Amino acid sequence: MLVDDAVVVIESMYYRIVRGMDALNAALGSLREVFWPVTTAVLTTMASFLPLMLMPGIVGKFMLVVPVVVVTALAISLIEAYWMLPAHVIAANIKFTSPSKTQKRRIAFTSKLQHIYSKSLLKMLRHPYLAIILISNHASRTKDFNPYQNG
């Protein structure tokens, strides 16, 4: 599993800052919360590339570059996510007092989508046999459009 460690760290910090924490405490709390999960995810990805270093012969010499670059990039990414990113967030001192225009649009879109989904789900639950027929009909029609189907 490939995890973008910086995204996990910044999302955790954002979650805390939006709920009223100052940036320093949000950074410290976030790092305490996500340090081990993110570190183990990155270490397992590194470990999956390390066997390529042990390949013998000319193929081994050729493939050596791949694990070295991947492991180095992941290590640098981990350092950046734990050290530089929190420092930048603390230095930026951004306040999230009210949602931005984009956030307001996202909230409106999500609530509209949730409303449509809720209405559809209620209809499906009230008429389960009709729902099964519609889903079966849809599933049977899609096989005609499968470009990988033989025959």
% of the chain exceeding 90 in pLDDT: 57
Least confident of 21-25, 26-30, 48-52, 98-102: 98-102
Taking Cα atoms as reference points, which of 20, 16, 19 lies closest to residue 33? 16
pLDDT at 63: 87
pLDDT at 143: 59
Between residues 99 and 3, the one the model is more confident about: 99
pLDDT at 83: 93
CA-CA-CA-CA torsion sign (40, 44, 49, 50): positive
Name the residue ranges covered by the structural domains of the chain.
Answer: 5-97, 102-145
Confidence band, pLDDT 50/70/90 cuts, at residue 149: low
Over residues 131-139, the mean pLDDT reads: 87
Is residue 129's pLDDT more than 50?
yes
Give the span between the Cα atoms of 90 and 17, in whole angstroms: 11
Q: For the chain, what is the mean pLDDT?
A: 88
Is residue 1's pLDDT more than 50?
no
The pLDDT tens digits for 48-90 are 998 888 888 888 888 889 999 999 999 999 999 999 999 998 9
- Count CA atoms within 13 Å of residue 124 on its CB side: 11
Between residues 22 and 149, the one the model is more confident about: 22
Six token digits for residue 149 = 């189907």
